[in-house]
Amino acid sequence: MASVPAPSPSIRLEPAQAILLVLLAAEVALFSAIGTNFLTLGNGFEVLRLSVEIGLLAVALTPVIVSGGIDLSVGSLMGLSAVIFGTFWRDFGLTIALAAPMTLAVGALAGGLNGLLITRLRIPPLIVTLGSFSLFRGLAEGMTGGVDNFTHFPAAFLFLGQGYLPGDIPSQLPIFLAVAAGFWVLLHRSTVGRSLFAIGFSPEGARYAGLPVDRRVGLVYVLSGAISSLAAVIYVAHLGQAKADAGTGYELLAITAVVLGGTSIFGGRGSIMGTLLGLLAIAVLQNGLRLADLPAELAGVLTGALLLLAIGLDHRAGRSPGRTHAATTTLPDDEVMIVKNAQVAVICASILAAGLIVGGTNVYLVGSLRDKGPTATMSPASRTLPSPSLEPRPEARQLTIAMMPKSKGNAYFIACRKGAEDAARERNIKLIWDGPTDPDPAKQNDIVDTWITRGVDAIAVAVENREGISSVLRKARAKGIKVVTWDADADPDARDLFVNQATPRGIAEALMDNTARVLGGKGEFAIITASLTAANMIAWQKEIEIRRASKYPDIKLAELRPCDDLQKKAFDETNTLLASNPNIKVIMAICTPAVPGAAEAIKQSGRTDVKVVGLGLPNDNKPYVHEGITDTVILWNTADLGYLAVLTAQAVVEGKLKAGDPKFEAGHLGVVTLEGDNVLLGKPFAFTKENIDKFDF
């Protein structure tokens, strides 16, 4: 067995890092060609700002993984730290300057718990942190009920996450660089770092060599905990809110960055430099794809493919001996796979060539589409059109409207999108449709930020997170972009108009009134919600409770259960509710997949005395409405909502519509009224047995 590898010197690049550098260069070249405003200093800083939180986690995870461990709990610990930070500041009345270090101490303590279980009880890190992954997030949800949201932090603190230092440098960047430098010294320039490599390479060997293995391993988990808390504090400043869902899913992104950077998942090899490059490769990819108006899913697919490619290229036989290694690296009949530099060069060249081909076909496609005339260019599928700023059209300039749903992959928003696309086609508007693909509440901000860089005429957002997104929408308005909100509103000064299909109050009252009617004014009901932390669900639950308390005191909310937006889980939860509490006579399902899920559970249980009142799509629920299981489904015409949002955005950009106008001519919807700065689609509609067949969406 070879000697412990020397800490990687900063001057000589490892193959993994060379691959990444080439890859980064290819990305930059590609996106400069097909993205709008990609190669600008401002965009460079924006990319860095958006990668700080995940970057901190990745940097802290590098020594963990180098030492042969893993920490899956970092994202959950961010949620817990955010909530604790908020509690210290708001409930205990501590100053920020005091609350932040105390939060870091709590994070270090939580990391210490991981370290203790791993070193003292000899439980594998994967299992320990899998448990604390649930535990930390669960504690955060438990402390706040998932609902409590700490906001209105002082401006000086928000500056840390949103402000700029002289030279347009994002204010959190120096902190990140300092932490990265600190970890670089720790890992590559200190005896502690050397011992971590030794431990990752061979823990037994390190022990026999007299290294304090347990203390060193414990240290990296304590550090990873403390840095997770630091990431949480910056995240809170960035978003302006502290909630239990902070950092959801960040652990996988951070691990991806570390592994992409050439750190061996089995330990013994890795570098901070590589992690930073891996982080940049992912961040640039995401940002570039958005600026090229390509869908967010592609970023995920390409990140996964990059990961496979990088690890495949980097794979060398015999580099990962040790205790708990995957069979394959020690599989004896493995042929020795040494990737030679020449092979690396060939593969990198082919990536580059592929990139150029994609870029080239895009340019070609744009040209051919433009030849076909305006009608061919309307569909959002042809996302490769040049932006108006690059290609000013001699005749009327084509407007670019960027539109964002709360999340992608939700049937409700597919229907909205259809209406939006109709409007775009009708009015010759270039429509960009993109949104978050995961439940990370910070994602909407990232996307709006990128759209500001890209340059669009108007942004139309279905707001997931009012406190979080308003700051970035104000920034968009300051740059002259018109902002319209739809589906759910932001702060009034953060947008020009709100396309109001129904207020949380309107929805809640319709749901509660129908529930009360079914119950005959007396009895118990249960709510199936999407998740305990989703902002819109919380708003509805609050209004439902207000309505219930004021108008229906004889009705009792027996249970509130989350279903993770899954039909099957809603089905299972309803089954449990029906069996555990026979007094429940109405299941109120307030997320789209839960309505048919709950109805199916009632149908299968044979209980004819329980009904569903829900918020969902008519097509999902027709059979249950006809069978009399689902009494009422509340919704509005979602296609009309998308249509109206686009037309409103267009009218605002063209100066034909402003807050205070009495009415507005909205294409095939006819005349739509305004109330102050709200464009009203109409009241929520109750689909029942009598009318549901007239609708198809």
Considering only residues 145 through 184, tell me which ones interact with other proteins, judged by CB under 8 A.
Answer: 145-146
Taking the complex as a whole, the smallest distance from the CB of residue 319 to other proteins amounts, in Å, to 11
Taking the complex as a whole, the smallest distance from the CB of residue 569 to other proteins amounts, in Å, to 9
Based on CB atoms, which residue is closest to other proteins, 39 or 358?
358
Taking the complex as a whole, the smallest distance from the CB of residue 192 to other proteins amounts, in Å, to 26
Q: Which of 87-95, 226-234, 510-518, 559-567 is the region at the interface with other proteins (rule: CB under 8 A)? A: 559-567
Residues in the chain: 697
Per CB under 8 A, 572 contacts other proteins: yes
Question: Strand runs (DSSP E) across 382-470, as ranges?
Answer: 399-404, 429-433, 458-461
Report the residue from 64, 99, 128, 516 that binds other proteins according to the rule CB under 8 A.
128
The closest of 66, 64, 85 to 74, measured between CA atoms, is 64
Based on CB atoms, which residue is closest to other proteins, 45 or 695?
695
Based on CB atoms, which residue is closest to other proteins, 203 or 441?
203
Based on CB atoms, which residue is closest to other proteins, 280 or 299?
299
Based on CB atoms, which residue is closest to other proteins, 87 or 471?
87
Binding-residue pattern over the window 327 to 366 for other proteins, x denoting contact by CB under 8 A: xxxxxxxx--x-----------------------------
CA angle 268, 270, 272 (to 5 degrees): 140
In the numeric block, which tokens belong to residue 570? 């809603």
Binding positions for other proteins, 584-603, rule CB under 8 A: 593, 596-597, 600
Based on CB atoms, which residue is closest to other proteins, 434 or 489?
434
Based on CB atoms, which residue is closest to other proteins, 155 or 301?
301
Based on CB atoms, which residue is closest to other proteins, 238 or 383?
383
Binding positions for other proteins, 22-41, rule CB under 8 A: none
Q: How far apart are CA 178 and CA 176, in angstroms?
A: 5
The closest of 469, 276, 294 to 380, measured between CA atoms, is 294
Alpha carbons within 13 angstroms on the beta-carbon side of residue 194 total 9
SS3 label, residue 584: strand
Rounded to the nearest 10 degrees, the angle between the axes of helix 213-239 and helix 173-188 is: 170
Binding positions for other proteins, 267-296, rule CB under 8 A: 295
Per CB under 8 A, 124 contacts other proteins: yes
Alpha helices (H) along 377-430: 411-427
Report the residue from 5, 112, 138, 388 that binds other proteins according to the rule CB under 8 A.
138
Taking the complex as a whole, the smallest distance from the CB of residue 579 to other proteins amounts, in Å, to 4
Q: Which of 122-130, 203-211, 394-402, 461-469 is the region at the interface with other proteins (rule: CB under 8 A)? A: 122-130
C-beta of residue 606 within 8 angstroms of C-beta of residue 666: no
Question: Strand runs (DSSP E) across 455-496, as ranges?
Answer: 458-461, 482-486
Binding positions for other proteins, 424-453, rule CB under 8 A: 437
C-beta of residue 662 within 8 angstroms of C-beta of residue 595: no
Based on CB atoms, which residue is closest to other proteins, 224 or 471?
224
Per CB under 8 A, 457 contacts other proteins: no
In the numeric block, which tokens belong to residue 463? 């707001």
Based on CB atoms, which residue is closest to other proteins, 197 or 413?
413
Neighbouring C-beta atoms of residue 20, cutoff 10 Å? 26
Based on CB atoms, which residue is closest to other proteins, 502 or 599?
599
Taking the complex as a whole, the smallest distance from the CB of residue 645 to other proteins amounts, in Å, to 18
Taking the complex as a whole, the smallest distance from the CB of residue 138 to other proteins amounts, in Å, to 3
Binding positions for other proteins, 295-314, rule CB under 8 A: 295, 297-301, 303-305, 307-308, 311-312
Alpha helices (H) along 520-592: 535-551, 567-580
For the chain, how are helix, strand and coil distributed in percent, rounded to 5?
A: 60, 10, 30
Q: Which residues of 660-670 are buried (b: 16+ CB within 10 A; e: fewer)?
A: eeeebebbebe
Q: Tally helices (H) and strands (E) across the chain.
A: 24, 16
Report the residue from 100, 510, 532, 535 that binds other proteins according to the rule CB under 8 A.
532
Place of tokens 């004896």: 332
Binding positions for other proteins, 249-268, rule CB under 8 A: 252, 255-256, 259, 265-266
Based on CB atoms, which residue is closest to other proteins, 472 or 526?
526
Report the residue from 53, 71, 141, 496 that binds other proteins according to the rule CB under 8 A.
141
Q: How many residues bind other proteins (CB under 8 A)?
A: 94
* Phi, psi of 268, deg, nearest 5: 90, -10
Binding positions for other proteins, 608-667, rule CB under 8 A: 619-620, 623
SS3 label, residue 499: strand
Per CB under 8 A, 95 contacts other proteins: no
Question: Strand runs (DSSP E) across 273-388, as ranges?
Answer: none
Neighbouring C-beta atoms of residue 192, cutoff 10 Å? 17
Taking the complex as a whole, the smallest distance from the CB of residue 555 to other proteins amounts, in Å, to 18
C-beta of residue 323 within 8 angstroms of C-beta of residue 204: yes
Taking the complex as a whole, the smallest distance from the CB of residue 622 to other proteins amounts, in Å, to 9
Report the residue from 214, 426, 564, 661 that binds other proteins according to the rule CB under 8 A.
564
Cβ contacts of residue 234 below 8 Å, gap of 6+? 52, 53, 56, 160, 161, 172, 175
DSSP state of 88: I
